[in-house]
Amino acid sequence: MLSALKEDGTISSLPAKLGTTAPPVASGPGIASGAGIYGNSDSPYQVLANADGSLQINQWDADTGGWAQIGGYRYRSDGWWWSDTDTASYRFAIVSGNDSEGNAFNFRYLMKRVVPGAGYAYLTLPVGQQLAPLAALDSAWQQRVGTQWTLTNDSPSAVPIAVLGNPPAFFATLAELPGYVLYGNEDLRYQLIVPVSDTLGGMSIKVPGNFGRDLYEIRFASTSATTLTIGSSINARI
């Protein structure tokens, strides 16, 4: 677009491209409250606050069932957390207020900023919402941890199955975040679910934009059911 505007004379020259080199290190805010687990519609993030004032950001890896390090980040003079080896930068945003029913809310988001495409503008998105620990899982949900489930009511020619096959989805937990279950596979991705009852698992986050899309609930017909539904998808226990 900018090149077209330059060609037709609307602008005289292209703007300078944004730099992706980390600015100088600066004295930063306290970060202890920013540490924790951040849920989204893709795969959870883990933020660790190091004793030297830096952050370590990890993301849950389905292949290993553990945390994969994204990088270590220091607070910089532009107000963002940067790594010397990553062109993306991060910060925290707190959103508070009252919902439509008058209930107060206070959400902390992990924000990610990148310079995509031609490099003339930043793209900033919330990539996760910090989640507070809950009471330990009850026996009904605990018994589902480690189980695998396969989709039974979609066509073999459906695009996800044609591309990925039909990999089983599974239930897991995070040691760092009691009270939630993690469910998913390569197609669904990996979401943290809140047990609402023994037969219903609900959404745990409200993240604006791409990383809060396609959230799902999990329903069982009974506590001991061997099928579950996500929307119109029926999955059978393997």
Please tell me the distance from the alpha carbon of residue 65 to that of residue 22, in angstroms, as a whole number.
Answer: 31
pTM comes to 0.92
Do 190 and 183 form a contact (C-beta atoms < 8 A)?
yes
- For 12-55, write each residue's pLDDT tens digit: 777 788 988 999 999 989 899 999 999 999 999 999 999 999 99
**CA-to-CA distance for 96 and 87, rounded, in angstroms?**
30
Q: What is the pLDDT of residue 13?
A: 78
Query: Given a cut of 80, is residue 6 above it in pLDDT?
Result: no
CATH of domain 15-131: 2.40.128
Domain ranges of the chain: 15-131, 139-237
Q: Is the dihedral of CA 49, 145, 198, 230 positive or negative?
A: positive
Burial class (CB in 10 A: 0-12, 13-18, 19+), 161: middle
Q: How far, CA to CA in Å, does 154 sit from each of 34, 53, 158? A: 41, 49, 7
Q: What is the pLDDT of the chain when averaged over all its residues?
A: 95
Please, which contacts does 44-52 make with residues 24 or more away whose CB atoms are closer than 8 Å?
44/128, 44/174, 44/177, 44/182, 44/190, 44/192, 45/70, 45/110, 45/127, 45/128, 46/176, 47/110
In the chain, % of residues over pLDDT 70: 100
Whole-number pLDDT of residue 200: 99
Asked if pLDDT for residue 1 goes beyond 80, the answer is no
Arithmetic mean of pLDDT, 168-194 = 97
Round to whole Å and give the CA distance between 64 and 37.
Answer: 18
- Mean pLDDT, range 73-95, rounded to an integer: 97
The amino acid occupying position 148 is Q
Using left for φ > 0, alpha for ψ between -120 and 50, and beta otherwise, residue 164 falls in: alpha
Strands (E), the chain: 36-39, 45-49, 55-61, 66-75, 81-83, 86-98, 104-114, 123-131, 148-151, 169-172, 181-185, 189-197, 200-203, 218-220, 227-230, 233-237
Closest-CA residue to 190 (of 59, 74, 80):
59
Read off the pLDDT of each residue in 219-229 and give the average, rounded to a whole number: 98
